[in-house]
Amino acid sequence: MAIPAILATVGGALVSGLLSKALGTSPSTSSTSQTARATQTLGKDDFLRLMVAQLRNQDPLNPMNNTEFVAQTAQFTSLEQLQNINTTLERVASQSNNGGIASASALLGKTVTVNGSPLALGSTGTATLAYALPTGAAAVAVRIFDQSGNAVRTLVVGQQGAGPHQLVFDGLDDDGRRLGAGSYIYQVVAADTKGQAVPGAYTGGGQVTGISVEGNTLRLVIGNQRVPLTAVASVVNTGGTL
C-alpha cells in the first residue's frame, strides 16, 4: 500500500491527528493567520510519521512487500537530501539577492581595506592590534568582539594623527577578567572634533583572492584571513595593508 493510499484507508481522524501533531496545530482549531497557513507544508519528519502510520495500519493479510518498502525508504532518503540542498541554495540565494555574491565577485583581484580583522588570543599574554586612520581624529577607540558579535572590550585611545598605529591589548574584558583563548574580531572607531565618524579607518587589508560562504556570512579571502564582506572599508589601488 503506497503512502498516498493511507489517506483513504487509515481514516480521516487518524490522518488529521497525525498531521496536527506533526505541524503543531489542533485539528479542531480554525487558523486564519498567514503564519499558521505557512506551516502546513509536509517535511521529511511528516513523511516519516506517515510511513510509520502506514506500517501500523497495513492489512496483515496483505502486508507491504519488501521491494515496495525499500523503494519508499529510498524516496524518503532522497527527500531529505533534496531538502538539505534546498536549504543551502536558499542561503546562497538570499546572499545573492542582497547583492552579496555580486559585490564579493566584483572585488576579486582588488586590493581592499577592512575594518574588522581577526584576532587570535591565547590563554595568557597580550596581543598587538594594528590599524590606520586616513586623517587625524579627535577621539579613537578600538572595540573587540567575540565570534557571536558581542562586544567584550572597548579600548579608548584618545586623539591620534593620520597613518598606521598599534595598540597592545592585555586580553581582559571590560570587567577586568581574562578572556578565553580563541578567535575574536577587533574594529577601530574614530571621530572628529564635532563627534562625526571619520570614514576610511581600517584594521587591515590586502588583495582579495577568493570568496566563501560560512554559515550565513559571506567572507572574503585576503591572504590567510577570511573577513566578512560587510567589514570592507574601501577599495584602494595600492597600499591598504598594515
**Blockwise average pLDDT, block size 10, the chain, 242 residues:** 40 38 38 46 66 74 66 64 65 57 84 92 94 94 92 93 95 95 94 89 92 82 88 77 68
Quick one: 41 and 104 in the same domain?
no
Tell me, what's the pLDDT at 133? Answer: 95
pLDDT of residue 10: 36
Are 77 and 192 contained in the same domain? no
Q: Are residues 15 and 93 in the same domain?
A: yes
Residues 38, 152, single domain; the answer is no
- Quote the pLDDT of residue 13: 38
Q: What separation in angstroms does the CA of 199 have from each of 87, 95, 114, 232?
A: 37, 25, 12, 12
- Coil/strand/helix, residue 205: strand
Res 54: pLDDT: 73
The residues, any chain, with a CB within 8 Å of residue 102's CB and separated by 6 or more, are 96
pLDDT score at 66:
64
Cα separation values, 215 from 95, 212, 227, Å: 11, 10, 13
Domain shared by 106 and 192, yes or no: no
Phi, psi of 210 (to 5 degrees): -175, 170
191 and 129 in a common domain: yes
The predicted pLDDT at position 134 comes to 92
Q: What is the CATH number of the domain that holds 184?
A: 2.60.40.4070
In terms of Cα–Cα distance, which of 230, 151, 235 is closest to 200? 235
Q: Are residues 194 and 122 part of one domain?
A: yes
For residue 11, what pLDDT is reported?
37
Q: Are residues 87 and 129 in the same domain?
A: no
Count other Cβ atoms within 10 Å, centred on residue 205.
27
Q: Which residues, 6+ apart, have CB-to-CB distance to 240 below 8 Å?
A: 111, 112, 113, 202, 205, 206, 234
Domain boundary, last residue among 46, 63, 97: 97
Q: How many domains does the chain have?
A: 3
pLDDT of 6: 38
Asked whether residue 62 falls in the same domain as residue 9, the answer is: yes
Q: What is the pLDDT of residue 212?
A: 85
- The whole-number pLDDT of residue 125 equals 92
93 and 7 within one domain: yes
Domain final residue, candidates 97, 129, 150? 97
Same domain flag for 187 and 213? no
Last residue within a domain, chosen from 39, 66, 97? 97
What is the domain range of residue 120?
A: 116-201
> Is residue 10 located within the same domain as residue 85?
yes
Cross-strand partners of 236 = 111
